[in-house]
Amino acid sequence: MAVNKCVKFLLFFFNLLFWLSGCIILGVSIYLRVSKDGNVITKESLPGIDLMIAIGVIIMLLGFLGCCGAIRENRCMLLLFFISLLVIFVLLLAAGILGAVEEKKVKDWVKERLEKLNPLSSQPENVNKDLERLQEELKCCGLTKGPSDWEKVPDSCRCNATVTDCSSTGTYSTPCAVQVIRLLEKHLEIVLGIAFAIAILLIAGMVFSMVLYCQIGRKDSSAA
């Protein structure tokens, strides 16, 4: 029995898409790492970027493995590819459920990490400079309580009275912890969108790889 060429090339095309998705994850992760590089505040509050980089590399390697398995009709590589996809799918599903259920705990965890930087007067100069940079970028003031986190409110907290979030004292009233959590949620939306697309690719890949695996097995049996 011959191997279905359509399934074979569909699997190859899937793995090309899978490899490209790994490139996208890797690219987005590196962008997040580079764009927030050197800022102590965001390093404390935006965890998991290194993990995303590792996941992107793994997916790229698996895409290459699947391509080789499909073209060479290698059952061992296809089985390894199927098992790897199944493990990633289960982990992805578990992470999605955990993220949805424990969303509030993640936010509380971020706040706790930022609260450790208070009082700001006891922090080294580089931490305060990073916070001032963040205040200018996110239009916020202080870490968790607002302007009262500072002994002397810096110019980066100052705002125009016409700005909605500007207090009567001429400073932003929103603490940076709130803005950082919003930034985290925005990044998570991007990650979840990519994860959903990858989950669909994973299911298609498992189906195609197992169909091709079985067809190669039947071909080898008939040849024997």
Average pLDDT over residues 218-222: 72
Model confidence band, residue 43 (pLDDT cutoffs 50, 70, 90): low
Model confidence band, residue 162 (pLDDT cutoffs 50, 70, 90): confident
pLDDT of residue 4 exceeding 70: no
Per-residue confidence (pLDDT) for residue 197, from 0 to 100 = 76
pLDDT of residue 1 exceeding 60: no
Give me the DSSP letters along the chain. Answer: ----HHHHHHHHHHHHHHHHHHHHHHHHHHHHHHHTTT-HHHHHHSTTHHHHHHHHHHHHHHHHHHHHHHHHT-HHHHHHHHHHHHHHHHHHHHHHHHHHHTHHHHHHHHHHHHHTT-SGGGS-HHHHHHHHHHHHHHT--SSSSSGGG-SS--GGGB--TTSTTB-TTSBB-S-HHHHHHHHHHHHHHHHHHHHHHHHHHHHHHHHHHHHHHHHHHHHHHHH-
Mean pLDDT of the chain: 77
Model confidence band, residue 27 (pLDDT cutoffs 50, 70, 90): confident
Per-residue confidence (pLDDT) for residue 22, from 0 to 100 = 80
Per-residue confidence (pLDDT) for residue 72, from 0 to 100 = 80
Q: pLDDT tens digit string along 173-213?
A: 888 888 888 877 777 777 677 777 778 878 888 888 888 88
Model confidence band, residue 100 (pLDDT cutoffs 50, 70, 90): low
